[in-house]
Structure formats: structure tokens, C-alpha cells
Amino acid sequence: MFQKLDTQNSDQTRVPQRSPFRYAGGKTWLIPKIRQWLRHQGGTDKEMIEPFAGSGIVSLTAVCENLVDRATMVEKDEGVAAVWQIILNGGAVWLADAIMRFQLTPETAKRAIDRADESLESLAFATIIKNRVNRGGILADGASFIKNGENGKGITSRWYPATLKKRILTIDQIKHKIHFIQGDAFEVCEKNACRNNVVYFIDPPYIKSGQRLYRYSDIDHKALFDLANRLQGDFLMTYDNVTEAQALASRCKFETKLIAMKNTHHARKTELIIGKDLTWL
Ligand SMILES: C[S@@+](CC[C@H](N)C(=O)[O-])C[C@H]1O[C@@H](n2cnc3c(N)ncnc32)[C@H](O)[C@@H]1O
């Protein structure tokens, strides 16, 4: 019934890390397949809508590699949204400089996080810090700091200020092609459902693990499948490989394929790829 695909094979051409986030459930590993999907799309003046944007790696790659003309990213989490709002609305240089100046210790990290509610800038900065010092980059409320980290470097083991600066300033160069909406995935997809020059990359919080990873994880999965069924534009959706997701896909007569990946702990997993037509895969 399901054809299993392996992502660890020869189509793994280089995938540049373009996002300032390290993101739980991020889809950098799927980029080779996303390139394949987008190259298969016909038409001109293509827009990608990424309703559950998170790290934005899919939109960033699609725009940077001219696989679409522009992208709309939607994200509900206020902290993640603040980072995108600052970077895409003229604050990239400020954020990059603030990161370069920051002397990271457990105390300074805590202070920056405690100041998150002072302004959009402080929320964006606190979110970048949290994403770098929390275990697994998890931004859900209650996530804890890294303890020993890589090579016993503790809290600083994922703090690469020069790399973050470079990524943020690169995004600044293409910001005119990216529109960011802090809002609800369902509303934005519904509004665009009749347009046929749009493609959607739909990566919701997963059924099993979503709650542990994100502040907003409570999704009506059935409603999301019904909405995908009404979209005029093509979509690619990813899910954890669980019976409920397979049943929802089969109810809408969507095609599904299993795809192998290694998670951050190098454990092999399979995930579900869902679309109207997956013959390109
Ligand atoms: C699986 S993650 C997306 C990861 C992303 N594809 C990446 O590669 O980084 C799901 C994201 O959806 C966001 N989210 C949850 N509910 C949402 C909603 N109703 N509208 C928009 N975003 C939502 C979460 O905050 C989380 O960032």
C-alpha cells in the first residue's frame, strides 16, 4: 500500500542551512524532495504558502533557489513570529548586531528571556536565545536549558553568533520576496483556497509529538485534511506515520508515501508524505 522512500540516498544534494532557528520537527531533511516537488510544478508567478512556518526553511529555500517567485509564511507562536517580523521588516541588522554583542552565560540568557515582554525586539531576541539554549531548541512553555551540551560546553554548545548573523543578513537580502503573517494557518489557507497559482507546504504539529514541542499544538487534524481537499493549488503535507493520519488521508483520497529520515538523535523513523498526486516522488 505505501511505497517507502529513503532520504539518505543520492538525491541528497547539498542543503544549505538558511534559517536562524534550530527547529524541533524542522524539515531541512526533506528539502531534496521539496525541490523535486516544486520543479515538477508548471505555471508562472508561483507563490508558496507555508501555513505552519516554524523555522521557515522550506520557504527560505524555495525563494533563495528561485523555485517559487515569492512566499507567504504563517506562524502562530508569538516568539517565533517576532523573530520573523523583526528580520523581514527592517530589523535584521539590529538583530544580527545584538546577537554578536551578546555574552552568553546562564545568567545573561535568563535575563534576556525574562525581558521578553518589553517589546517586539526583546521578544525576538529572547526567542533566539531560548532556541539556542533550550534542550533540542524546544520553544514550548516549560522547556529546560541544555545541561552538558556538545563536548561539555553546556549552554553555549549551540551558540554560533557569526553563523546566525550571516543567515539573518542573507534573509535580509531576499526579504522583499517573503510576506510573513502572524496568525492562524487555517484562516490563511481558507482565504487563498480559490487561487491556483499557489502551492502549500503544510507541516502541522504532529499528532503524537506536537504537544511536547510547540506552544500551539492543538490542531483539528480532520478539519485540516478537509481544508487541504478544498485547495485549488497543489499541496504537500507531512505527518507522523500514525493510523489516524493514514485514515484521514485515505478518507480524502489523497496519495501517501512513507519516507525514511533520521531524527536529531540519529534514530531512524518513517514519516508520511501526503499530496493530491505524488507520481513525481
Ligand atoms: C511541525 S512545526 C513546523 C516546522 C517547519 N516546517 C520547519 O521546517 O521548521 C509546526 C508549527 O506550526 C505552528 N502552529 C501550530 N498551530 C498553528 C496554527 N493554527 N497556525 C499557524 N501555525 C501554527 C507551531 O508553532 C509550529 O511552529
- The pLDDT tens digits along the chain (281 residues) read 444 555 544 445 689 999 999 999 999 999 999 999 999 998 889 999 999 999 999 999 999 999 999 999 999 999 999 999 999 999 999 999 999 999 999 999 999 999 999 999 999 999 999 999 999 999 998 888 888 766 677 889 999 999 999 999 999 999 999 999 999 999 999 999 999 999 999 999 999 887 889 999 999 999 999 999 999 999 999 999 999 999 999 999 999 999 998 776 677 889 999 999 999 99
Q: Is the C-beta atom of 20 inside 6 A of ligand 1?
A: no
> What are the counts of helices (DSSP H) followed by strands (DSSP E) for the chain?
11, 8
pLDDT the model gives residue 146: 87
Q: Is the C-beta atom of 61 inside 6 A of ligand 1?
A: no
| Alpha carbon of 276 to ligand 1 centroid (Å) | 21
pLDDT the model gives residue 1: 40
| Alpha carbon of 213 to ligand 1 centroid (Å) | 10
58 Cα nearest atom in ligand 1:
8
**Domains along the chain?**
4-76+183-275 (3.40.50.150), 82-173 (no CATH)
Q: Is the C-beta atom of 205 inside 6 A of ligand 1?
A: yes
Using CA atoms, how far residue 33 sits from 11, 82, 143, 196, 270, in Å, is 8, 29, 31, 21, 15
| Alpha carbon of 52 to ligand 1 centroid (Å) | 4
CA atoms within a 13 Å half-sphere pointing along the CA-CB vector of 235: 28
50 Cα nearest atom in ligand 1:
6
**Residue 3 burial (10 A CB sphere; 0-12, 13-18, 19+):** exposed
Q: Is the C-beta atom of 210 inside 6 A of ligand 1?
A: no
Q: Is the C-beta atom of 57 inside 6 A of ligand 1?
A: yes
Protein residue whose Cα sits closest to atom 15 of ligand 1: 216
pLDDT the model gives residue 3: 44
| Alpha carbon of 23 to ligand 1 centroid (Å) | 10
Per the CB < 8 A criterion, the answer to whether 274 and 249 are in contact is yes
| Alpha carbon of 80 to ligand 1 centroid (Å) | 10
| Alpha carbon of 78 to ligand 1 centroid (Å) | 11
Nearest by Cα to 241 from 258, 253, 228: 258
Protein residue whose Cα sits closest to atom 17 of ligand 1: 76
| Alpha carbon of 139 to ligand 1 centroid (Å) | 11
pLDDT the model gives residue 154: 85
| Alpha carbon of 203 to ligand 1 centroid (Å) | 7
Neighbours of 257 (CB within 10 A): 17
Model confidence, pTM: 0.94
Q: Is the C-beta atom of 34 inside 6 A of ligand 1?
A: no
Q: Which of 131, 216, 237 to mutate to test the pocket of ligand 1 (most atoms within 8 A of CB)?
A: 216
For strands 235-240 and 268-275, give the pairing. Answer: antiparallel
